[in-house]
Amino acid sequence: MSSSVNLDAAQSPAPLSAPSRSWQRAFADLRQGWRQRSLWGYLGWQDIKQRYRRSVLGPLWISISMGVLATGLGILYAALFSMKIEVFLPYVATGLLIWNYISGCILEGSEVFISNEGLIKFLPAPLSLHVFRLVWRQTLFFLHNLVIWLILILLFPQSISWTLALAVPAFALLMVNGFWVAIVSGIVATRFRDIPPIIASVVQLVFYMTPIVWDYNTLARNPNPNVAERAHLAELNPVMHFLEIVRQPMLGEMSNPSTTLYPRRRIRVSAVLRNAASTSGA
């Protein structure tokens, strides 16, 4: 009798607690990864030093390459859009500074587990440690490039005020989103190896769809109504809003709540989509 009871107990299905255990393991991994911040902080700094080893200027090349690119694009697009260089150059440089951080988290995040395969196999450490290391490395790049922003602010003074302090929580929000995007894209790309090149192509497209080297307000005020209406389609781009909440305080502007929460503009965007659909149907 007892043997039959034991047999029934062995054959009975286990309680459905696997999902909860998976979530517990995931959050435990995040906690362990955060506790080892001294390790991933050191590894992130060593990544930068290793990249520029035997270089005379070292990590300063990060800021130099960023400054050359921002200056070239700022002068070119200021002439194309008939913008004042003293206004448009800091605008472009600040946008590129933030964009490099966003694109770095996305592109390197898609390969964070693939590129660290050797460490994952032989180093007994939480998986989130590699993501923390990635976000910290991108943050160091961002801080290096702040030198370019500071130089441009000194050359072309902006109306910087207390609103600059709003850039700190905005950038913290950017870091949090960069972290989870890196985790999700890294997990998916580890299973499907075609994901990283697809993400790279999409990121390149998003660069041109985001107001980095062009001004959204300039296109929105275009005398051509078709151009002005289609400019509002950029509001569907979430990268634009994450970029603006950091760039606006850095240029002395108050963050516009409609930049992050834009329900008012969705009506206008839907109207543009309806007009485009009716035009194509006609």
pTM of the complete model: 0.79
Residue 255: predicted pLDDT = 64
What confidence tens digit (pLDDT) does each residue in 59-78 have? 677 778 888 888 888 888 88
Q: Is residue 239 part of a domain?
A: yes
Residue 201's pLDDT is: 93
Q: Is the pLDDT of residue 21 over 80?
A: no
Report pLDDT for 277.
46
Q: What is the mean pLDDT of residues 31-54?
A: 84
Q: Is residue 117 part of a domain?
A: yes
| pLDDT grade for 7, boundaries at 50, 70 and 90 | very low
Residue 72, domain member (yes or no) = yes
In a domain, 99, yes or no: yes
Range of the domain at 50: 37-272
Residue 230 located in a structural domain: yes
135 belongs to a structural domain: yes
Q: What is the DSSP track for the chain?
A: -HHHHHHHHHHSPPPS-HHHHHHHHHHHHHHHHHHTHHHHHHHHHHHHHHHTTT-SSTTHHHHHHHHHHHHHHHHHHHHHTT--HHHHHHHHHHHHHHHHHHHHHHHHHTTHHHHTHHHHHHS---THHHHHHHHHHHHHHHHHHHHHHHHHHHHS-----GGGGGHHHHHHHHHHHHHHHHHHHHHHHHH-TTHHHHHHHHHHHHHHHSTTSS-HHHHHT-SSHHHHHHHGGGGG-HHHHHHHHHHHHHTT-PPPHHHHS-HHHHHHHHHHHHHHHHHHH-
Name the pLDDT band for 260 (thresholds 50, 70, 90): very low
For residue 24, being part of any structural domain is answered with: no
Mean pLDDT of the chain: 79
Work out the percent of the chain whose per-residue pLDDT is above 90: 24
How many structural domains are present in the chain?
1
Would you state the pLDDT for residue 81?
80
- Report residue 54's pLDDT band, with 50, 70 and 90 as the boundaries: low
Residue 214 lies inside a defined structural domain of this protein:
yes
